[in-house]
Structure 1
């Protein structure tokens, strides 16, 4: 029998399974199991790692089913702590895999391109953002060396189906509607279970929120451009803020996120997140009183630890988040690029 903390029965044919993320401060992903008249369906699968697979299969057993019984997998977004085990689940069960087309496109591009192309692209992007040569050098060296493909997220499962936002999903006996919530990824989905809450909580059903709305942390919002996307064409932070307001209007009775724990009063949490990002944009605009590159802005932003203590890979994520905020400030007319700067610098508008 699995440990009591691994599996939670949320009532009404919904369970969650804690699947660990190796060497990650988040600790685990909450994988949700939804009973349907056609058989059980997973919402996300967890990280592709033997320990994670063991936790998932043990959790399914604790829920009274097995991986071979699964009929489908709904993916909130393509990140490896959500989509990583999808291929193993499908191989073991024959289950279909579904996600939003925008994230399915990311999966296809990832599979079609060698890792060396992504290392070279990231190196070029970081150099353009003002990263020091010493930081960019390992990425360029990896591109030259040709790293092996077997890295998390570099060989994700191709989905069998794409999900159309706004549609009720074809899950017999359930009313589960897809809500497109771009921001964390271009194709992030929340899934709205339009059924009365089993404990009678007031509100509109339950929301599987993925990483879009979490009870105590904010998801990473960075630029999701890649070599196949026109530079400067996306505004992920703007997408995220719009998506937050959409979720707030749903007013679900309970939110079942992919990390941390379930919570109620989604509109209040949405207001907190909107206020957080508005405050952060205001603070960053103040930092841009003098011109800064994205790297210099990231160095000065508030993180959960001093910049000197942020690991190499996390610095890349931080710069991507700084760029997303800069993109939003520029689109709002609150900042602009400095003509002729190389690497490009940004300054607050007067």
Structure 2
């Protein structure tokens, strides 16, 4: 498949591979401005991904030194991974929402062992069995902590402020804060007439918030030092409705492909999560820990075939759904249970 797609009106997308990942690639968008090209996301920090990014830009007649700025939808390594290298090679600025900048700073400053301890504590509290916790403890005691992605992610130079136009010469790109997938996820609304005249209000770089055929992962916001009980799924559903009301002509997501019916896709995702919450209430007819709930939830494959790391993500997603049900008054923690179980009310 062609690596470069032209979307018209000075916008292109480049396919940048994600190594060993079923998603396959990140769509890095290139936006032409009066001060030079600006990238929306950069792709995974991997030599092969870097080669593809350089090649895609080259196909557009852009050298890496020409890049003026980098706008990051969220801090995940398949989006922000190559940002630091782009900045080193070009002098480009990097912009990110403050909530995700805080995640990057915390990750850079914390000892990886501290993160493994935190993860082990969280999973134990969620009811993970000892055989799942043992490899984490072994990695901690053996000092095998250098493989965690994002440890050296670049700190941005600029803050993306929700509701404000980004400082892009000759373009109208407005930041829309869409927490849920991460605390600082932003979509970027290109408030310019669609180049092909499609009806609607411009185009939306949607990152991972709104994808045509995937429901993005909604897990817990990880901050070992913050005791606030957040509600990421509630944040995500609110953000989805906000995006649905924008009425954009076309969505340019960071995975899969561009699509037009944003309001229809928003409705599908809202319905999907409502069905999922209803299904979880049926499971919670008996008290379950978050781990037990994750084991019983429907995933894209049976639980016994879900790899180790993905189980951690699944449990985080189960907890996010539990928090939503508790907040809605549809489930509650069972007093005196250790690890804590939850039951429908």
**TM-score, normalised via structure 1 length:** 0.97
Determine whether 1:330 maps to 2:326. yes
Task: Find 2:125's aligned residue among 124, 128, 135.
Answer: 128
Task: Find 2:190's aligned residue among 185, 189, 193.
Answer: 193
Query: Aligned to 1:42, what secondary structure does the other structure show?
Result: strand
1:170 corresponds to which residue? 167
Q: Deviations over 1:71-111 (max 9, x none)?
A: 10000000000000011000000000010000000000000
Shift of 1:150: 5.1
Q: Identify which range, 59-68 or 136-145, moves more after superposition.
A: 136-145
Query: Aligned to 1:46, what secondary structure does the other structure show?
Result: coil
Determine whether 1:63 maps to 2:87. no
1:45 corresponds to which residue? 42
Equivalents in 1 of 2:216, 2:91: separation in Å? 32
The answer as to whether partners of 1:197 and 1:253 remain within 8 angstroms in 2 is yes
Equivalents in 2 of 1:141, 1:106: separation in Å? 25
Query: Aligned to 2:170, what secondary structure does the other structure show?
Result: coil
Shift of 1:144: 2.0
The count of residues paired between Structure 1 and Structure 2 equals: 345
Q: Deviations over 1:297-326 (max 9, x none)?
A: 000000000000000000000000000000
Determine whether 1:220 maps to 2:236. no
1:156 corresponds to which residue? 153
Shift of 1:148: 4.3
2:239 corresponds to which residue? 243
Task: Find 2:97's aligned residue among 81, 100, 103.
Answer: 100
Equivalents in 2 of 1:229, 1:192: separation in Å? 31
Equivalents in 2 of 1:100, 1:135: separation in Å? 34
Name stretches of at least 5 consecutive residues in structure 2 with no aligned partner: none
1:234 corresponds to which residue? 230
2:21 corresponds to which residue? 24
Task: Find 1:292's aligned residue among 284, 288, 293.
Answer: 288
Equivalents in 1 of 2:292, 2:87: separation in Å? 44
The answer as to whether partners of 1:225 and 1:234 remain within 8 angstroms in 2 is no
**TM-score, normalised via structure 2 length:** 0.99
1:181 corresponds to which residue? 178
1:305 corresponds to which residue? 301
Name stretches of at least 5 consecutive residues in structure 1 with no aligned partner: none
1:112 corresponds to which residue? 109
What is the RMSD computed on CA atoms of the aligned residues? 0.8
